[in-house]
A and B are shown apart, each in its own frame.
Chain A
């Protein structure tokens, strides 16, 4: 996986690059919007991490220029502008995700993994999601594990759908909150923990093998290992 980081703040850039190096990921780095756009148009990347306030050409303009060239490389905007309006503007300009500074490295990696997977694009127009023996019928709004029917509340259904669309990936609490409650401000992560533990209780009965795993310091992962 090859990434491009377009970020003018050197401290943030070196932090992200060091983290990626630890994980053995290659990452190119551009300091201005113009350099970033040139790099993005000339090299194939798996994903682009884009700051919004950039010299020469701001992040949203870079994004729009990319999209107007038919570039579909997944883009994650990394910005200090974190209000709902800012996020909506970013997503409307064609970004695949939006992460507000300050951020944790785990959150950033989880989100990049999510958008790279989305970019490889299998998840179009499915009506049934499957992970192991777990099955979610999006039209009938019904869940089954093997032959057992699972009764889900509205929010539990939304959470499970999100987990299943990102099966095998680490999903952070903030991502879950955004998925089920739009952009409601973070009420404290324990609220999400409670929801996930209830969902887990419904998914894993008796001696059924575990599906929903806790990833320490990062979030959760739905995986039929």
Chain B
């Protein structure tokens, strides 16, 4: 549209400039001719004028026409046959008008359009000098033609280019709408295609996909959490109920203290579970404005102080290998995460084995690693190990709420870091990696939930 308007304006300006120049030239020409004839009329009268006009019309100025007429419009000389009816007889002004006249040219009588100037030669004599307007009319016509052609060309070109460009946009928008529809109807793995072109549409598609990833992650983790929570609440609640019913059957005589103690223990476990969920929810809601500068080595030392006696009682050796590992974060959360990892290592490590707690800088990350010599976690079970309420022990008989590793993964994620579970050959090596500088983000790329080399599987996306 804009292109069309621009074309019209440009061509019009050009055309009207040309027309103006031509018009000025024409006025000069007509004026000059008229002046020349007036002079000749004064010198040689009507007779001299007629021969001049004949000479002019036959040889020099083929495109100029003349007429000398009396007041009544009768022709006295010249090749215009009839005084144009459009021109008033008493028309005296020196103006240029466009009229249609009959002229004799090369022996033929033609009807032509002219632009003419009228002069008064004497009391009963008038002069008309005209210029054939064909070329100017042709020019005008050519202008309209070229204008139409240009507009057409511009419109066709512009529209087809626009269509090409917008077709991709429309396609992406339509694909996004379709994908969104299918996602809403329950196909949580539905995603937009990202082309290798890497343009703005691909950026949009990536962001759109990232949103879907996040929603899918939350929906799945909510489902898993609800299932796990229901199970973990039901078991102790059922036990409490049965115990109370038995106590009621026994009546007042029976011993109550066992019932009360066991019930209190079950209730403690339930409270611990609810507390664990609260801690997890709070960790999940952590934002960067509560971060302070800290050293993972100090966090590890604190956790070591807390757990070293416990490890020793369990017949394991807790070893520290600390070098400075600066990071930004919430120290109570990091301490809790570290404590959970050490607690896991003690629970699952082998008796007499070593548990090594190491900190240091590794590339762009500050790292805290806890390695045990226990059975480890099979590569295909590692992701599941991070989910809420998942216990790799199917019987759920080992103590623990199944929230421990899930909290560590959450803490890693809110710190823009990651939790990497790997093979310690033998045993489990859990590494908490936090960005060295606050503007880095170590969370795995949205698409890359897969294996990263031989170190293990990068999993830090569970919430």
Contact = CB atoms under 8 A, between A and B. Distances in A.
Contacts of A183: 332
Interface in B226-284: 271-272, 275, 279, 282
A183 B343 CA distance: 18
B307 A191 contact: yes
Given A102-B271, A155-B306, A194-B310, A187 B332 contact: no
B8 interface: no
Contact of A185 (B271, B307, B309, B336): B336
B290 to A, nearest CB: 8
B233 to A, nearest CB: 16
Contacts of A186: 275
Given A83-B282, A155-B305, A184 B335 contact: yes
B309 A194 contact: yes
A215 interface: no
A155 B305 CA distance: 7
Q: Which of A84, A155, A182, A184 neighbours the largest number of chain B CB atoms within 10 Å of its CB?
A: A184
Q: Which of A84, A181, A185, A194 neighbours the largest number of chain B CB atoms within 10 Å of its CB?
A: A185
A62 to B, nearest CB: 26
A221 B279 CA distance: 30
A139 B306 CA distance: 24
A81 B276 CA distance: 15
A84 B279 CA distance: 12
Q: Which of B275, B306, B340 neighbours the largest number of chain A CB atoms within 10 Å of its CB?
A: B306
A185 B332 CA distance: 7
Interface in B320-353: 332, 335-336, 339-340, 343
Contacts of B335: 181, 184-185
Contacts of B282: 83
Interface string B293-327: 00000000010011101100100000000000000
Contacts of A191: 306-307, 310
Contacts of B305: 153-155
A188 interface: yes
Given A83-B282, A181-B302, A198 B339 contact: no
Interface residues of A, number: 19
A80 to B, nearest CB: 10
Contacts of B310: 190-191, 194
Contacts of B313: 194
A51 B339 CA distance: 31
A195 interface: yes
Contacts of A102: 271
Contacts of B339: 184, 187
Contacts of A185: 279, 332, 335-336
21 contacts: A83-B282, A154-B305, A155-B305, A155-B306, A181-B302, A183-B332, A184-B302, A184-B332, A184-B336, A184-B339, A185-B335, A187-B307, A187-B336, A187-B339, A187-B340, A187-B343, A188-B272, A190-B310, A191-B306, A195-B309, A198-B309
Interface of B: 271-272, 275, 279, 282, 302, 305-307, 309-310, 313, 332, 335-336, 339-340, 343
Please name the 8 residue pairs, one residue from A and one from B, whose CB atoms are nearest each other, closest first: A194-B309, A185-B336, A155-B305, A187-B339, A194-B310, A198-B309, A184-B335, A191-B310
Given A185-B332, A188-B343, A194-B310, 18 more contacts: A83-B282, A84-B332, A102-B271, A154-B305, A155-B305, A155-B306, A181-B302, A181-B306, A182-B332, A184-B332, A185-B336, A187-B307, A187-B336, A187-B339, A188-B272, A190-B310, A191-B306, A195-B309
